[in-house]
A = this chain, B = another copy of it.
Amino acid sequence: VTARRQFANLGYEGTTIRGIAKEAGVDPALVHHFFGSKKELFASVTTFPFELEEAMPRIIEGPRSELGRRLAEWALGVLEDPESREAINGIVRAGVSDQGAADASRELVTAEVLVPIAKGIDADEPELRASLINAQLVGLIVARYIVAVEPLASLPAERVIDAISPSLQRYLTRPLRPSQSNTRKPHTT
């Protein structure tokens, strides 16, 4: 808990094994012994506040047309909880400001929740879909909770779910390229 709070308050760069050990009243060697490097400690504390493994089956179960809504409800449920929100804001802050933390946090939710969901529903390009959803959710975290862009910051959670569910649904289930019937000229990538 001390470690999680220090990462959240001080950022990845500002947090040291020594500082965590001091506040917790233990020997730094003990922290090293149990948790390994700072990067490993960061990875272990940032997986604490919610059960990633439980999320995936709960989101996949149910009508396919409401996948995006179930994912949005799960995400808002996590983010509206003060404790897990604090931890997640810390992860995003650290990931944005520091390459070491970016390496550690990059794969967390994407690899453990979003890719399994996309694979679980047999979507094409599951990793790309997961990273697009990651982008949508990280943007929501930054805009609503960290930078506090209004009126999104004070919108009731239910309306946020209404607003982003169709985007998540599309990133999960719809084609990611324009359809052939589109009249625009073909893109050369």
Q: Is the CB of B189 within 8 A of A158?
A: yes
- A93 at the binding interface (Cβ < 8 Å): yes
Q: By the criterion CB–CB under 8 Å, are B166 and A170 in contact? A: yes
Task: Identify whether the interface residues of A are mostly helix, strand, loop, or mixed.
Answer: helix
Chain B nearest CB: distance from A148 CB in Å? 7
Q: Does A84 contact B (CB under 8 A)?
A: no
Question: How many chain A residues have a CB neighbour from B under 8 Å?
Answer: 54
Q: Which one of A23-31, A34-42, A45-53, A134-142 contacts B?
A: A134-142
Of all chain B residues, the one with the shortest Cβ separation from A156 is B189
- Complex CA gap A140/B135 in Å reads 5
Q: Mark A145-174, 1 if CB is under 8 A from B, else 0.
A: 011111111011111001110110011001
Q: Which one, B128, B132, B142, B187, contacts A138 given CB within 8 A?
A: B142
Closest to A125 in B: B151
- Say yes or no for A16: interface residue by CB 8 A criterion: no
Q: Is A2 among interface residues, defined by CB-CB distance under 8 A?
A: no
Asked if B149 contacts A131 (CB within 8 A), the reply is yes
Task: Tell me if A176 and B189 are in contact (CB < 8 A).
Answer: no
Instruction: Report if A117 contacts B (CB, 8 A).
Output: no
Question: Does chain B have a CB within 8 A of A143?
Answer: yes
- What is the minimal beta-carbon distance from A66 to any residue of chain B, in angstroms? 8
**A96 contacts across to B, CB distance below 8 A:** 92-93, 96-97, 142, 146-147
